[in-house]
Structure 1
Amino acid sequence: MKKVYFETYGCALNKGDTYIMMTLLSESGHQVVHSPHDADVIVINTCDVRLETGERMKSRIKELKSMDKRLVVAGCFAGAEPAIVKELAPDASVIGPQAIGKIVDAVEGKIKFDISSDRTEVTPRVFEGKIAIIPVADGCAGNCNFCITKLARKTLRSYSPRNIVDAAKKSIKSGAVEIELTGQDVAAYGLDLGGQIKLPDLIEQITSLEGEFMVRIGMMTPEQFVRDMDKLLDAMKRKKVYKFLHLPVQSGDDNVLKMMNRKYTVDEYKQIVKEIRSKLPLSNITTDIIIGHPGEDENAFNNTLQLMEDLRFERVHLAMYSMRPNTRSASMPQIPDKEKKRRMEIAYKTYEEIAKEIHREYVGKKCRIIITEVGKRDSMIGRTVNYIPVVIKDKAKLGEWYDIQITDYSFFDLSGSFA
């Protein structure tokens, strides 16, 4: 038996992958521990989405290597830049994000290197707190010019609905009150299964399970979302589904979208948002925007600001473009960092002002929330039906529902107390 410590970086899919690896190790008789000092083996599940993230991974790999314990480097940095990992930690075992089924062999020292697309199908049977993160698919159907993740997660692999539903059922039985269905693009679910089952079918099966819980749908690209938009919106009307959609637009300019190799226009994206809001009035649409991608001149940047003003997103994940190795965007003429930073400050200020205006409208209203997290300074955090975080100082219990009156707001969240 090995004692194994995990460190996880990056997106919800990476967290879900960690839970899968923990599941495999636990079922093989190994023990997961919560400190690297208590471990025989350290697993770092890496991210590589941005330049500074990659640099942080390099630094952390070197730090963990110095602890003189068996080291396993997993995740997207391992899959996209394996040569660098081997240079930093020659004795480490390296497994890509689509080879996590080999984690037991890696921990036991039976393999040193595997970044293949292994078809081993496992869904997590462990989670932490009250939120169960369940990957529904790995990889995506797109090929964006800026994305290094495509190099690490090369093929779309949808997990079987039976295994996903079973994982959800076991999580709920173990006390989970939020089921997060995650993936690089959850709307692409089932494309590789012959189209016989799609995301709306999965949502209906999970929400039919017994128990008091909510389902959160993960990130979806607009081009995949629109394939089954009507059925998806019907599925999202179900009581147990958060009215929350994460639809990255990335830019408000058609020319930049073309240079990114995104498969929609700004007008098409606007039409999708209009359709969502007409059919799901409570919906909260979150988006991602890259500032300073090659091809973004001042006019294109202003078009992005205008899109933010027009569509009034409650939350925007803003990122300043950074070159990633072996991507098409990295070979294009680049915008100076100083200019990217200037635009980023303007975009962030625009986002903050819009978010504050949206959140201000909730003050004085009552809502029902389920407590899913412990916050700072003895606070508790729940979510509205459209997934806006609500911070309360009242003595509440994790996993319980409460009627709350909203008393204050910030650009990031709401504050409230028992109604």
Structure 2
Amino acid sequence: MKVYLESFGCSASLASAEIMKASVERLGHELLGPAAAAEAEVYICNSCTVKYTTEQKILYKVRSMGEKGVQVIVSGCMPEVQLEDILHANPEAHILGVNAISRLGELLSLIERRMAEGLPAGGYLELRTSEPLGFLNVPRERSNPNIHICQISQGCNFACSYCIVKNARGKLRSFPPEDIVKDIRSAVAEGCREIWLTSQDDSQYGMDTGVKLPELLCMISEIPGDFKVRVGMMNPFSVLPILDELVDAFDSDKVFKLLHLPIQSASHSVLKRMNRLHKMDAVDEIITKFRTRFEDLSLFTDIIVGFCDETDEDFEETVEWVKKYRPEKINISRYSPRPHTKAFSFRNLDSRISVQRSHTLHKVCEQIKLGSKQEMIGWKGRVFVSKYTEMGDVLTRTDAYRPVVISGSGLKPGEYANVEITGAKPGYFMGKLIG
């Protein structure tokens, strides 16, 4: 069969998509690219339900592909919490549970049998598993052959009032550390030079089993080979109990000095309504300890603007925090009410207020990034070669994960080089080799 797979959402979702693509090809089906999507007999939608706009885009694709006579499979988070919406859009859409990516081949075989025998659709097929299976040590069709995305756990043990993903992925289930190490060891042997550790919250890893994230990072750092590890998003309230050990684990030469710490808001009243279990003094403690140890640290954060009953004063607290701590990257989201969450029943702000606050914060962030980029011009230091660009150049990373593109160098992924940053573009720096 001709199969087109489209994935939405986070890096964990992307990792699942890579595994499912490999499964499609291993079973002898033809995996189509976006340009040939119109030829598909089967459309696999690896869904995301974090934002309303994404949800609506997915439901449109599920509906329109079905109307064209294409067999539709919906995987990812949406089937776990919005099954009725999916089946309303396409009553014949087949369902693959978020934990059941290893059963995709079984589902495709059932669909192929129906098609070969000319049987009527007969309603949707649904395959699920209660525990996550097939996320590690399996073949995958990587989006970039130099980058391996390793999901280290499924689910979350906390309950932010706005978050629907907890309902979709369930309680925390940390994957065995020995399986993670084996998965990464194999990826490095296959030529991957950048390892992304991903989950709903990396710093929760091991809270249900005993081997915590710092110990896991030490185990990964002992794997032979030239590679670097990017640790994914970590919530302040789950970082705090392991803070000292985590800073020590980041001291490894194989770990990028990148701290992705979502605050969502700097207002304690908003954080309370969000059921975010941290105070801003804890955030300050975390950032201070990381910056004290790693002077050249990159700080990423996530912020939701326009959350229920957020006042002008609440928003201004967040703006002032951003100006003080100057994160290199901020993922800004306008609050989007999600079904089955506690905040769904809260009173929402006028959307025009959310739009205005989003624009204001974006302007502040752009000013900060512009200043930071100018400060980096003339920087000299060691970089790690991550991957080739589409233009044939190489994308390198500083120890703090800042991207530097080098042209005409002959460098290969996995190598180190000394460079000078000579200029800045919107998404990266330009550099040249130095002795």
Same fold flag (TM > 0.5):
yes
Measure the CA separation in 2 of the matches of 1:28 and 1:225: 42
Identity level (%) = 29
Q: Secondary structure at the match of 1:269?
A: helix
Kept in 1: contact 2:308–2:348 (CA 8 A): yes
Q: Secondary structure at the match of 2:417?
A: strand
Kept in 1: contact 2:146–2:386 (CA 8 A): yes
Q: Give the equivalent residue in structure 1 for 2:133.
A: 120
Task: Report the alpha carbon displacement of residue 213 of structure 1 after superposing the two structures with TM.
Answer: 0.6
Q: Secondary structure at the match of 1:132?
A: strand
Instruction: Return closer, same or farther for 1:344/1:312 CA change in 2, 3 Å cut-off.
Output: same
Q: Give the equivalent residue in structure 1 for 2:319.
A: 305
Determine whether 1:15 maps to 2:29. Answer: no
Measure the CA separation in 1 of the matches of 2:428 and 2:133: 39
Determine whether 1:43 maps to 2:44. Answer: yes
Kept in 1: contact 2:107–2:127 (CA 8 A): no
Q: Secondary structure at the match of 2:303?
A: strand
Unaligned runs of 5+ in 1: none
Question: What is the aligned counterpart of 1:317 among 327, 331, 337?
Answer: 331
Determine whether 1:162 maps to 2:175. Answer: no
Instruction: Return closer, same or farther for 1:52/1:18 CA change in 2, 3 Å cut-off.
Output: same
TM-score for the superposition, normalised by structure 2: 0.89
Instruction: Return closer, same or farther for 1:326/1:396 CA change in 2, 3 Å cut-off.
Output: farther
Q: Give the equivalent residue in structure 1 for 2:116.
A: none
**What whole-Å deviation, never above 9, does each CA across 1:32-87 have from its counterpart, x for those lacking one?**
45454565533211111111111111122223324433321101122221111112
Q: Give the equivalent residue in structure 1 for 2:432.
A: 417
One-letter code of the match for 1:225? V
Task: Report the alpha carbon displacement of residue 233 of structure 1 after superposing the two structures with TM.
Answer: 1.2
Kept in 1: contact 2:135–2:151 (CA 8 A): no
Q: Secondary structure at the match of 1:134?
A: strand
Task: Report the alpha carbon displacement of residue 21 of structure 1 after superposing the two structures with TM.
Answer: 2.8
Measure the CA separation in 1 of the matches of 2:311 and 2:64: 40
Q: Secondary structure at the match of 1:94?
A: strand
Instruction: Return closer, same or farther for 1:54/1:178 CA change in 2, 3 Å cut-off.
Output: same
Task: Report the alpha carbon displacement of residue 174 of structure 1 after superposing the two structures with TM.
Answer: 0.9
Instruction: Return closer, same or farther for 1:345/1:119 CA change in 2, 3 Å cut-off.
Output: closer
Which structure is larger by alpha-carbon Rg, 1 or 2? 2
Task: Report the alpha carbon displacement of residue 264 of structure 1 after superposing the two structures with TM.
Answer: 0.6
Kept in 1: contact 2:409–2:433 (CA 8 A): no
Kept in 2: contact 1:130–1:398 (CA 8 A): no
Measure the CA separation in 2 of the matches of 1:87 and 1:210: 51
Query: How many residues are paired up?
Result: 416
Kept in 2: contact 1:355–1:411 (CA 8 A): no
Measure the CA separation in 1 of the matches of 2:215 and 2:371: 36
Determine whether 1:367 maps to 2:366. Answer: no
Q: Give the equivalent residue in structure 2 for 1:140.
A: 156
One-letter code of the match for 1:10? G
One-letter code of the match for 2:418? D
Instruction: Return closer, same or farther for 1:403/1:254 CA change in 2, 3 Å cut-off.
Output: same
Instruction: Return closer, same or farther for 1:151/1:403 CA change in 2, 3 Å cut-off.
Output: same
**What whole-Å deviation, never above 9, does each CA across 1:167-188 have from its counterpart, x for those lacking one?**
1111111110001111011111
Kept in 2: contact 1:367–1:403 (CA 8 A): yes
Measure the CA separation in 2 of the matches of 1:129 and 1:24: 17
Kept in 2: contact 1:74–1:94 (CA 8 A): yes
Instruction: Return closer, same or farther for 1:396/1:64 CA change in 2, 3 Å cut-off.
Output: farther
Bigger shift: residues 165-174 or 249-258: 165-174
Task: Report the alpha carbon displacement of residue 9 of structure 1 after superposing the two structures with TM.
Answer: 1.1
Measure the CA separation in 1 of the matches of 2:351 and 2:359: 12
Measure the CA separation in 1 of the matches of 2:149 and 2:327: 24
Q: Give the equivalent residue in structure 2 for 1:405.
A: 420
One-letter code of the match for 1:167? D
Q: Give the equivalent residue in structure 2 for 1:191.
A: 207
One-letter code of the match for 1:6? L
One-letter code of the match for 1:207? S
Kept in 1: contact 2:60–2:89 (CA 8 A): no
Measure the CA separation in 1 of the matches of 2:4 and 2:179: 26
Task: Report the alpha carbon displacement of residue 385 of structure 1 after superposing the two structures with TM.
Answer: 0.9
TM-score for the superposition, normalised by structure 1: 0.92
Task: Report the alpha carbon displacement of residue 416 of structure 1 after superposing the two structures with TM.
Answer: 1.5
RMSD between aligned alpha carbons?
2.2
Question: What is the aligned counterpart of 2:296 among 282, 293, 307?
Answer: 282
Measure the CA separation in 1 of the matches of 2:387 and 2:239: 29
Report 1:17-416 matches (<5 A). 17-25=16-24, 32-34=31-33, 35-36=36-37, 40-109=41-110, 112-114=125-127, 117-123=130-136, 124-126=138-140, 127=142, 128-193=144-209, 195=210, 197-375=211-389, 379-399=393-413, 400-410=415-425, 412-416=427-431
One-letter code of the match for 1:371? V
Q: Secondary structure at the match of 2:45?
A: strand
Task: Report the alpha carbon displacement of residue 364 of structure 1 after superposing the two structures with TM.
Answer: 0.8
Kept in 1: contact 2:418–2:433 (CA 8 A): yes
Task: Report the alpha carbon displacement of residue 122 of structure 1 after superposing the two structures with TM.
Answer: 3.4
Q: Secondary structure at the match of 2:208?
A: helix
Instruction: Return closer, same or farther for 1:377/1:209 CA change in 2, 3 Å cut-off.
Output: closer
Measure the CA separation in 2 of the matches of 1:163 and 1:36: 35
Measure the CA separation in 2 of the matches of 1:321 and 1:170: 40
Measure the CA separation in 2 of the matches of 1:140 and 1:249: 17
Measure the CA separation in 2 of the matches of 1:199 and 1:30: 38
**What whole-Å deviation, never above 9, does each CA across 1:113-134 have from its counterpart, x for those lacking one?**
2455334253143223210001
Task: Report the alpha carbon displacement of residue 305 of structure 1 after superposing the two structures with TM.
Answer: 0.4
Measure the CA separation in 1 of the matches of 2:68 and 2:197: 35
Bigger shift: residues 352-361 or 173-182: 352-361
